[in-house]
Structure 1
Amino acid sequence: MSNSKEIKNRILSIASIIKITEAMKMISIVKLRKSKESLLHFKKYSKHIEQLFQNILFSFHENTDILKKNNYFFSSKKNKLFLVITSNRGLCGSFNSLIFDKIHEIIQKKEDSLKNGCIFFSIGKKGFDYFLSKKYTLYDYNKNLLNNFSDIYLFVQKIIEDFLSKKISSIYLIYNHLKNSLFQKVIVEQIFPISIPTFRKKKLSEYEYSILEPSNIEILDHLIPKLISVKIFKSLLESYTSEHTARMISMHKATENANDIKRNLMLNYNKERQTNITKEILEIISGLEALI
C-alpha cells in the first residue's frame, strides 16, 4: 500500500461491509425460522390432502379404464410447461445458478427443444430475468409473482384449463429442496399428467370408501386443483427455506472473508506505521548528527 491513510480508509470501508453482512445474516436467520415453521405446519396439511387423493384413486381399482380415459391422466406430445421457483433477490450463493444449470441440462438433453415447445414460467424475479436474457418462450400469465395460496390457486386453474384444452401436454415443477443445512438439491417433479398408481389387492381394504358422493369423478375434479395448488405452495415454502439458508451461509462466508481482509489490512497498516516511525526517528538522528 502507498500510505497509511489509504489503508485506514479501506479498513473503515471493510468494517462497514462487515456490519452489513452480519445484519443480513441475522435477517436471514429470522426469516429462516419463520419459513421452517410455516413449512412444518403446511407439510401436515399437504400430507392429508395427498392421502385423501390417493384414497380416492384407490376407489377406481376395479375400473382403471375410467382413469386412463380421463384427461388429467393422459398427455399428448406437444408443449411442455416448466414452473420454475427462484428467488426475487440475489446474494444467496449458488441458489439460483443450480436451478439455471438444471434447466440448461434439460434443454441440452433434447435437440432443438425450444422449437419443439418448451414453455417456462418463473415464480421469482431472478428466473424471469434469466428467461428474458436467454429468449426462452414464456408462459402467458399476467402475474409473475405468486406469493400466497389464493394467487397460486387461480394460477393452477389457468394451467389446468390449458392442459385440458391440450395447449400444454405436460407440466413440471423445478425448485430447490433443502436436504440439510449445507446441501440443497434441485427437484424436477411432474405434476401433469398425473400418474395412475398400481393397485395391490392386499392394501385396498385400507383405502376403500364405502360411500362417495356426489361421485368419484366429480370429487376428483374438485380435489385436483386443490392438490396441485398445495404441491406448488409447499414447493414454494421449501424454496424459501433453501433460499434463506443459502443467503445465511453466503453472508456468514462474506463476513469471514471481510474479517480476513480487515486483519491483513491491519497488519499492513501497522507495518506502514512502523516504517514511518522508523523513518522519522532516522531523520531526527541524522539531523542531530549534522548539528554535532
Structure 2
Amino acid sequence: MDGGKQLARRIRSARNISQITGAMEAVAASKMKKAQAIAAGGQPYQEMLGMVAGQLRRQAGGDFGHPLLIQTESQAAKPKLHILISSDKGLCGGLNSNLFRLAERAIPASGPVIAVGRKAVDYCHKTNWEMVGANPEIGDKPDYSQTKPSSAIAMEEFLARRVSSVVLIYQKFHNTLTQRPTADTLLPVQLKTVEEEMKMFNLNYIFKPGRQELLADLLPYYVHMSLYQAVVSAKAAEQSARMIAMKTASDNAEDVRGNLQLLYNQKRQEMITAEISDVVTAGMALYEK
C-alpha cells in the first residue's frame, strides 16, 4: 500500500503543523491580551491630554501661536513627512500588506519617511522613499522611551520647516477582529475641545506657570504621546491579527488532516476488500477442485 504510506506521512505532517500553529496561537493570544490592555489603558489618557491642551489653547487667547500648531504659507509647498509603523515580525495575515498598500498610495516617490518596525524598515529599503529615521526594533512591549526619538525627529523636521506636515500611517486597533490601516495627522497639532467634558476647566484656576508657558511645555509631550499611542495600537492590532492567522492555519491544517484521514480510510478499506475477495476467490477455487 504505497499510496497509503504516503497518505500516512501527509497526515502526520498536517497533524504536526496543526500542533505548531496551535501553540503559536496560544502564545499570540496571551500577547494579544497584554497588548490590548496597554492600548486601551493609554487611550483615555491620550484623549484627556488632547482636551486639556485644547482648552488651555482656547484660554490662552487667539494671539497665542506655538510653532507646532502653525503651518506657514511657504511651508505648505513642502513635502509631507510620513511615519510608517509596522510589525517587527510576519505571520500576521495581510496586516502589513494592507498597511503598505495604503503607504504606496499616500507617500510620493522620494518622499521623506520615518520607519518604525522591522517590516517598515525593510519595505522602505525596497522603495525610492527617503528614510530620514528608522526604529527597527520595537518589541512586544513598546516603551515610551523607544518611540520618543522618532517623534523628536518629526518635530525637528517640522520646526525647521523642511516638511509641510507629519502623518502617521499605521494599523489602528478597533477590536480583535478589526484592524484598519489609518492615516492620522500628527503635525501641525490639531487640538479639540469638548465643552461638555471640559466644564472643570471653566473654573477660575490660577496656573503657575501661565497658560501659555504650560501649553508650550505640554504640546511637545502631546506629540510624543500621540506617536507612542499609535505604536501600541499597532502592536495590539499585530498580535490580534497573528492570533487570528494562527487560528485559521490550525483550522485549515485540521481540515486537511481530516480529508487525508478519510482518503486513507477509503484506500485501506479498498485494500481489505480486495484481500477478502482474493481469499474468497481462492477458497472457491479449492472447493470446486
Any stretches of 5+ residues in structure 2 without a counterpart? Answer: none
Q: Return the match for 2:136 from 144, 151, 158.
A: 144
Distance 1:178 1:155, change over 3 A: closer
Distance in structure 1 (CA, Å) of the matches to 2:193 and 2:226: 21
Whether contact under 8 Å (2:51, 2:192) holds in the other structure is no
Q: Return the match for 1:171 from 166, 171, 177.
A: 166
Determine helix, strand or coil for the equivalent of 1:138: strand
For the pair 1:130 / 2:130, whether they are aligned, the reply is: no
Cα deviation per residue 1:69-100 (whole Å; 9 max; x = unaligned)?
Answer: 74542241213111111111111112111211
Distance 1:208 1:71, change over 3 A: farther
Distance in structure 1 (CA, Å) of the matches to 2:188 and 2:125: 27
Distance in structure 1 (CA, Å) of the matches to 2:192 and 2:255: 56
Determine helix, strand or coil for the equivalent of 2:129: coil
Distance 1:235 1:198, change over 3 A: closer
User: What's the TM-score, normalizing by structure 2?
Assistant: 0.85
Distance in structure 1 (CA, Å) of the matches to 2:104 and 2:226: 24
Name the stretch that deviates more: 172-181 or 78-87.
Answer: 172-181
For the pair 1:154 / 2:149, whether they are aligned, the reply is: yes
Any stretches of 5+ residues in structure 1 without a counterpart? Answer: 108-112
Identity %: 27
Task: Report 1:1-292 matches (<5 A).
Answer: 3-61=3-61, 64-67=62-65, 70=67, 72-75=69-72, 76=75, 77-107=77-107, 113-115=108-110, 118-141=111-134, 143-146=135-138, 147-195=142-190, 206-207=201-202, 210-288=205-283, 292=289
User: Shift of residue 279 of structure 1?
Assistant: 2.8
Give, as a single letter, the amino acid of the residue that structure 1 aligns with 2:8.
K
Name the residue aligned to 1:110: none
User: Shift of residue 206 of structure 1?
Assistant: 4.5
Give, as a single letter, the amino acid of the residue that structure 2 aligns with 1:74.
Q
Aligned length: 279
Distance 1:251 1:205, change over 3 A: closer
User: What's the TM-score, normalizing by structure 1?
Assistant: 0.85
